Amino acid sequence: EAQVTQNPRYLITVTGKKLTVTCSQNMNHEYMSWYRQDPGLGLRQIYYSMNVEVTDKGDVPEGYKVSRKEKRNFPLILESPSPNQTSLYFCASSLRYGGNYGYTFGSGTRLTVV
């Protein structure tokens, strides 16, 4: 089944403890992206990647890192999480960057930082 898989689905962590949220897609998509979703603010892009080893900042990149060493994987790294990073996170992928390819979203990761 074609899908985007995120792990974990739920995570509670403490301030400052490094964490990684994994994202993997099995559709051979070139484009991958991370979003966070907060009440009243909608989906905001954190980072995106147009292909292997090509990443760029979105609208809210502060406090996050990403890497794209392989086409299928696009992990989101929080080096020192803070409470304002408590949010619902979505990974998405698309065949290519641009055009009408649309996005396929992962199931989401609900992160709480205390």
Q: Please select the residue that binds other proteins; options are 11, 27, 43, 52, rule is CB under 8 A.
A: 43
- Looking at 12-20, 65-73, 78-86, 92-100, which segment touches other proteins (CB under 8 A)? 92-100
Contact predicate 6/111, CB 8 Å: no
Does residue 48 interact with other proteins by CB under 8 A? Answer: yes
* Shortest Å, Cβ 98 to other proteins: 3
Residue in 80, 84, 107, 112 binding other proteins, rule: CB under 8 A: 107
- The CA angle 91-93-96, to the nearest 5 degrees, is 150
Q: Apex CA 6: angle with CA 5 and CA 8, to 5°?
A: 135
Structure tokens that stand for 67 in this block: 């890497």
Q: Are 23 and 35 in contact (CB under 8 A)?
A: no
**Alpha-carbon gap, residue 85 to 112, rounded angstroms:** 8
Given the complex with other proteins, which of 20 and 107 has the nearer CB atom? 107
Binding mask 61-90 for other proteins (x = CB under 8 A): ---------------------------x-x
